[in-house]
Amino acid sequence: MPNYQRILLLRTIKIILLAVFTLISIAPLAWILLSSFKTNREIMLSAFSLPSSFDFKGYRVALEVSPILRFYGNSLIIATASTILNLLFVSMTAYVFARFEFKGRALMALMISSSLLIPSSALLMPIYRIMVSIHLFDTIIGLILVHTALGLPTSFFVIRSYFQSIPKELEEAAYIDGCGYMKTFFVIVLPLAKSGLSTVAVLQFLMSWNEFMFALVLTKSEKVRTLPLALNYFTTQFSFNYTALFAALTMVILPSIIIYIILQEQVTQSMVTGAIKG
């Protein structure tokens, strides 16, 4: 086969691959969005037809019959709180692990790193029992603590490697100037590790925002449940109102997509760092 024909063939294959994977990535979402404006009848009649009119009735119904806004609020509180706690706890620990020699350091680091290998689903039952026994079952605080802990190993390794890359001299100068450990850490060290902290914040927030299994098992009341669980309700609540179901789905996925598109460089970089260092 002559060279130019081979190049043409390769290029065609590439274009087809990109087109196919673009289609399967977008078509389901576009269909959900479009259908959220259709009537039930239109949905049953044809999947491809455009809605006869763009009205937001489905959205109104979805908001009326389900506590979706409350779930939004819960998700926001839990993801934000677990991100702040995770950052605070992990950065303090990673700092002393990166800077000081002490007894047990190697052992503790080994334990944290081996916990990276554990599928969190394996710990489902004991974590459930522990949360019940310390009376944190079905509480926001319980879920915050579990989400904070789930992100510990990854956060620890990302942040520790950031601290290791920051030169010691600045802190030493601060100590000589009579700065205490606390002040040095919060005023001098933390700001220097800003990019590492934001990487971890993105990973932790996304993890908590999307987490389903522990949120399902550790909660039972509407007051506490998070957005991913809302969908569990919707499939039964709306079994005959497809418009409202599709509207609810759109409301659940759209914010994630928009935020991802706005912050995509940061998110992409965080995920890569998390994947390779974690």
CA distance 55 to 41: 15
In the bound state with other proteins, the residue whose beta carbon lies nearer, of 28 and 60, is: 28
Quick one: DSSP state of residue 165? H
Q: Please say whether the beta carbons of 210 and 192 come within 8 A.
A: no
Measured in degrees and rounded to the nearest 5, phi and psi for residue 55 equal: -115, 160
Nearer to other proteins, 88 or 106 (CB): 88
Q: Is 123 in the site for other proteins (CB under 8 A)?
A: yes
Distance in angstroms (rounded) separating the CA atoms of residues 111 and 105: 10
Rounded Cα distance, 60 and 177, in Å = 62
CA distance 78 to 227: 11
Q: At its nearest, how many Å lie between other proteins and the CB of residue 54? A: 20
Q: Which is nearer to other proteins, 119 or 191 (CB)?
A: 119
- Cα–Cα dist 27/72, whole Å: 26
Based on its alpha-carbon atoms, the radius of gyration of the chain, rounded to whole angstroms, reads 24
Binding positions for other proteins, 51-80, rule CB under 8 A = none
Q: How far is the CB of 180 from other proteins (least distance, A)?
A: 8
163: nearest Cα among 98, 96, 86, 108: 98
Q: How far is the CB of 194 from other proteins (least distance, A)?
A: 19
**Token digits for 52?**
């006869």
**Residue 268 binding other proteins, by CB under 8 A:** yes
2-21 residues near other proteins, rule: CB under 8 A: 6-7, 10, 14, 17-18, 21
Residues 141-160 that bind other proteins (CB under 8 A): 145-146, 148-150, 152, 156
Residue 18 exposure: Cα atoms within 13 Å on the Cβ side: 6
Interface stretch with other proteins, choices 57-65, 140-148, 162-170, 191-199 (CB under 8 A): 140-148
Q: Residue 17 or 170: which CB sits closer to other proteins?
A: 17
User: What residue type is 187 in one-letter code?
Assistant: V
The one-letter amino acid code at 69 reads L
Position among 37, 43, 62, 162 found at the interface with other proteins (CB under 8 A)? 43
96 counts as binding other proteins under rule CB under 8 A: yes
The CB-of-169 to other proteins minimum distance in angstroms stands at 18
Q: Tokens 């460089």 belong to which residue? A: 265
The residue type at 3: N
| Residue nearer to other proteins on the CB measure, 7 or 170 | 7
What residues from 201 to 260 belong to the interface with other proteins (CB under 8 A)? 206, 209-210, 212-213, 216-217, 227-229, 231-232, 234-235, 242, 245-246, 249, 252-253, 256-257, 260
| Binding track over 167-206 against other proteins, x by CB under 8 A | -------------xxx--x--------------------x
